[in-house]
Structure 1
Amino acid sequence: MDMFIITKVVLFLLLPPSILILMMGVGFIIIKRHYRIGRVFIFAGFSMLYLLSIGPVSDAMIRPLESSFPSLHKVSLKFGDRPNLIVVLGGGALDLSWVGVRPLPSRTSVTRLVCGITLYRQTPETILVISGGSGNPETPNISEAKAMKGVAVALGVASKAILLDEDSRNTVESAKNLKRLNGNKRLFLVTSAFHMKRAIAMFKKTGFDPIPVPCDYKSEQKRITIFSFIPHAGNLQNSSTAIYEYMSLLWYKLRGELS
């Protein structure tokens, strides 16, 4: 089996809510024979599910990732320092063939793309590079880059100003494939703020000198009230995303693929 698919499956099982459901399931199975251990598994699963689903916890987990780099408007670039490449990393695509609609970029991909297009309009004579094949083993034939290009063209970006990388399934492959597609080392790198720390490290390891352009922020600046402690699926998703990033940073660091 492809190592890429194996990694995806293992990560899926280790991330919430899957790992928490497994913990509680094991607890219910063994509680009759091993009451104390079973109770610990069930209590731990429910407690972690609750904590990861509330705003203060999810924000505390994902914010350190999102604050790794300042937003671009806080960075002043001289005209001569501006790269001529804007690389937008894909964040998923939707297979809507069941309703007769061509594949569309996910919400994450659209957010990154809009950020890239905004920068493209501010930096004349740049090339917009959209990177992303299919990072989802369930939809291996869907091209994130192609779906995103359709939206970019619809928003007024000239087709000739867009370069596609449709072969990359993850960030490491995006960096390596881009090195083969284009020799320029200096570039703008557009991706979600929570993903930027890993993306920058991988691109630097490959030999690039990227300027981070973070977008798609998940954490918010809001005061804590009683409503902050009501569980929400969005908070659980943010917590899961943060855990995935921390695990990925550790995994790729051990493999020597981070700068």
Structure 2
Amino acid sequence: MDALLKSLLMPLPLLLLWLLFATILCVRKQPLGLWLLCLAVIALWCGSSSALTERLAAGLELRYPAYQPSGAIDNIIVLGCYHSDYSHLPLSSRMAECSVARLTEGIILWHQHPEARLIVSGHLPGLSGNHTQLAADLAIALGVDERKIVRMTQPTNTQQEAAAAAPLIVDQRNVLVTSAIHMPRAMRWFDYYGAEVTAAPAHFQVRRPAGEHGIAGYLPSPQGIRTLTLTHYEYLALWQQRFKLWWDPENP
């Protein structure tokens, strides 16, 4: 999806447009405006409540349990996420939270299986910094043997990452690391390209059982709207993926 369209389709811009439309109707003294305004406020409250948004995220995040070691590993594939282009920042701060969480999980697994290759990937066309190289640099700084790192510098999205990794991991024991909320979509792409991988989700948004939020969990919060945004984005991307596979299953 185009970056601008992605931004406009996120929950907060949609809710703000809804509020703006309702306000215009209220100014024009249209009865519908007041109803829409009330509904928008309720939607904003619910959409920023962690107790509610985490339940939506759980439908994606809990499909794959945390990885449990079960023998040797040949490849640990860590999917890319995002980084900052500001070079004055330290390496750990240049990598986005999602990138650090994914890479940290991959590095932990590598230290448990130092015989494995650590495959890092991701290219962000709009940024000058090399995302894959930054990931490799951070992994090396945290003790990974540089000779064990494989860099896939060309893929710009999950589908391309799966297509590029598949030929490298044929008939091997592979673990896939990405954000828990992103894992269902990633696993579907790896399965499509015939790559057998075991999920090792990281960067969970849902970190507590639904009944343990308390009253505070139902109050509006930045974390609530953030979880809603990530969940909303993934469901849109899953529908886009399904459409691609339905439209041209041989060459999506």
Do the two structures share a fold, i.e. TM-score over 0.5?
A: yes
Matches within 5 A, 1:90-101: 90-97=80-87, 99=88
Structure-2 residue corresponding to 1:221 = 208
**128, 140, 148: which is aligned to 2:135?**
148
Indicate whether 1:206 and 2:193 are aligned: yes
Deviation of the 1:70 alpha carbon: 1.5
Aligned pairs (5 A) from 1:100-249? 104-134=94-124, 139-179=126-166, 182-184=168-170, 186=172, 187-221=174-208, 223-249=212-238
Q: Across the two proteins, how many residue pairs are aligned to each other?
A: 244
Q: Any idea what the Cα deviations from partners look like across 1:173-211, whole Å, max 9, x if unmatched?
A: 11122235x252542100111111110011110110111
Is this contact kept in 1: 2:85–2:128, CA < 8 A? no
Q: Which structure 1 residue ranges, 5 or more long, are not aligned?
A: none
Percent identical across equivalent pairs? Answer: 25
Kept in 2: contact 1:93–1:143 (CA 8 A): no
The residue aligned with 1:71 is: 66
**Alignment check: 8 A CA contact 2:182 2:234 kept:** yes
Coordinate RMSD, CA, aligned: 2.2
Task: Select between 30-39 and 120-129 the one with higher mean Cα deviation.
Answer: 30-39
Give CA-to-partner distance per residue, 1:151-179, whole Å, 9 cap, x none: 11111112111111122221111112223
Counterpart CA distance in 2 for 1:163 and 1:59 is 35
1:196-227 CA-partner distances (Å, limit 9, x unpaired): 11100111101101110111111122523221
Tell me, in whole angstroms, the C-alpha distance in 1 between the residues paired with 2:40 and 2:129.
35
Q: Mean Cα displacement is larger for which, 141-150 or 228-237?
A: 141-150
* CA shift digits 1:41-66 (9 cap, x unpaired): 32232221110111210111101211
Task: Tell me the distance in 2 between the aligned counterparts of 1:42 and 1:144.
Answer: 43
* Alignment-mate amino acid for residue 94 of structure 1: S
Q: Which of these residues, 15, 28, 36, is aligned with residue 33 of structure 1?
A: 28
Deviation of 1:101 after TM superposition, in Å, equals 5.9
Aligned counterparts of 1:144 and 1:124: Cα–Cα separation in 2: 23
Give 1:170's aligned amino acid: N
1:255 — aligned with what?
Answer: 244
Unpaired runs of at least 5, structure 2: none
The one-letter code sitting in structure 1 at the alignment partner of 2:243 is L
* SS at 1:212 equivalent: strand
- Report which stretch shifted further, 42-51 or 102-111: 102-111
1:16 maps to 2:11: yes
**2:177 aligns to what SS in structure 1?**
strand
Normalized against structure 2, the TM-score is what? Answer: 0.88
Offset of residue 85 of structure 1:
1.1
> 1:13 Cα deviation (Å)?
0.9
Number of the residue aligned with 2:47:
52
Distance change >3 Å, CA 166–CA 43, structure 1 → 2: farther
**Mean CA deviation greater in 139-148 or 244-253:** 139-148
Q: 1:183 to 1:218 in 2, by over 3 A?
A: closer
| Stretch of structure 1 that moved more, 108-117 or 224-233 | 224-233
- The two structures have a TM-score, normalised by structure 1, of 0.86
Partners of 2:54 and 2:89 in 1: CA distance: 38
In 2, Cα distance between the equivalents of 1:212 and 1:159?
24
Any conservation in 1 of the 2:110–2:116 contact (CA below 8 Å)?
A: yes
